[in-house]
């Protein structure tokens, strides 16, 4: 009888030990899963914090002004020809973003395809050569002024999209110079510049052009409200690659002389998020832009 009791007791203890081992193993697996989830969440929070805390400061790449005396000046009435270069970019809290913005500045400066520029120092040397060439031309041709300016600014962020502008102005004499504002939309997750072709479905390009033409066409009316001939014809009209996102919609920016006279400056055409026509041609990735607007 005692042997039977001991055998049952031992079996019970072994059973409890086995259950305890299974519970311990299950708890260990659960803890491991929780730790993995916590690590994932911490990484997501860290990534979000990095994206939401873009810190920028201006970085002067090349800034120089020189005045050349005019050969036609006489006596005390000295005239000068001015050559000025002012090229700035932004230094950000992320090295990849700083490099991306620098490349966008280089791209817009109109560097010849045969000239290879791989880094900031090479671009600065390129600007120095341009300054020297401009000084030579100003002396040779008695140019009244030669000015080149590029200014990069940070506008803000919406979710994972940061918006920057690159303002350009060039003057080589005459009544006025040429200028323009380029918007640079950066996907902070993918670390790439967002293009118009990323925002709209490919099959809707004709519809997109039609919507923009309608906005533009309706701007040209006489005092009686009747449509008049616009500055640009429908055949020449195009979809601008220069866009930005606002609270109301997607705005397409056109440089001076594109949709109007120089005096009219840069012109903007906005497609509203409140219109189903726009919602229907957005790619799935950018549907969130219009998610808060009514159907």
Quote the pTM value. 0.77
Residue 42, H or E segment:
helix 2-52
Nearest to 214 by CA among 270, 264, 261, 263: 270
Whether the Cβ atoms of residue 259 and residue 272 lie closer than 8 Å to each other: no
What is the per-residue pLDDT for 26?
65
What is the per-residue pLDDT for 69?
80
First CA to last CA distance, the chain: 82
Q: Is 21 exposed, middle or buried (0-12, 13-18, 19+ CB in 10 A)?
A: exposed
Stretches where the chain sits below pLDDT 70 are 1-53, 71-78, 292-295
What is the per-residue pLDDT for 260?
92
Cα–Cα distance, 147 to 186 (Å, whole number): 29
Edge-to-edge strands, sheet with 178-187: 56-69, 80-92, 145-158, 161-171, 178-187, 192-193
Q: Hey, CA dihedral for 120, 125, 128, 133, is it positive or negative?
A: negative
Strand partners, 200: 282
What is the per-residue pLDDT for 157?
93
Kindly state the greatest CA–CA separation across the chain: 134
What is the per-residue pLDDT for 149?
95
């Amino acid at each position: 009888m005692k042997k039977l009791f001991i055998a049952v007791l031992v079996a019970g203890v072994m059973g409890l030990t086995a259950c305890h081992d299974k519970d311990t193993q299950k708890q260990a697996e659960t803890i491991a899963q929780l730790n993995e989830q916590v690590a994932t969440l911490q990484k997501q929070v860290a990534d979000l914090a990095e994206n939401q805390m873009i810190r920028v400061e201006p970085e002067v790449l090349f800034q120089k002004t020189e005045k050349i005396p005019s050969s036609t000046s006489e006596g005390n009435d000295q005239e000068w020809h001015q050559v000025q270069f002012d090229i700035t970019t932004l230094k950000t809290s992320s090295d990849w973003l700083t490099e991306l913005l620098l490349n966008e500045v280089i791209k817009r400066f109109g560097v010849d395809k045969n000239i290879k520029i791989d880094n900031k120092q090479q671009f600065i040397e390129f600007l120095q050569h341009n300054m020297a060439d401009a000084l030579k031309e100003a002396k040779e041709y008695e140019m009244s002024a030669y000015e080149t300016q590029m200014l990069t600014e940070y506008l803000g962020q919406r979710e994972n999209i940061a918006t920057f502008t690159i303002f350009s102005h060039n003057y080589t004499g005459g009544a006025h110079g040429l200028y323009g504002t380029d918007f640079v939309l950066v996907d902070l997750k993918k670390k790439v510049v967002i293009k118009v072709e990323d925002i709209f479905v490919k099959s809707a390009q004709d519809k997109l052009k039609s919507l923009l033409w309608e906005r533009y066409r309706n701007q040209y009316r006489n005092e009686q409200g009747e449509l008049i001939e616009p500055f640009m014809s429908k055949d020449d009209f195009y979809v601008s690659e220069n866009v930005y996102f606002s609270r109301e919609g997607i705005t397409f920016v056109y440089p001076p002389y594109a949709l109007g006279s120089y005096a009219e400056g840069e012109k903007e055409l906005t497609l509203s998020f409140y219109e189903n026509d726009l919602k229907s041609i957005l790619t799935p990735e950018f549907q969130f832009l219009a998610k808060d607007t009514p159907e």
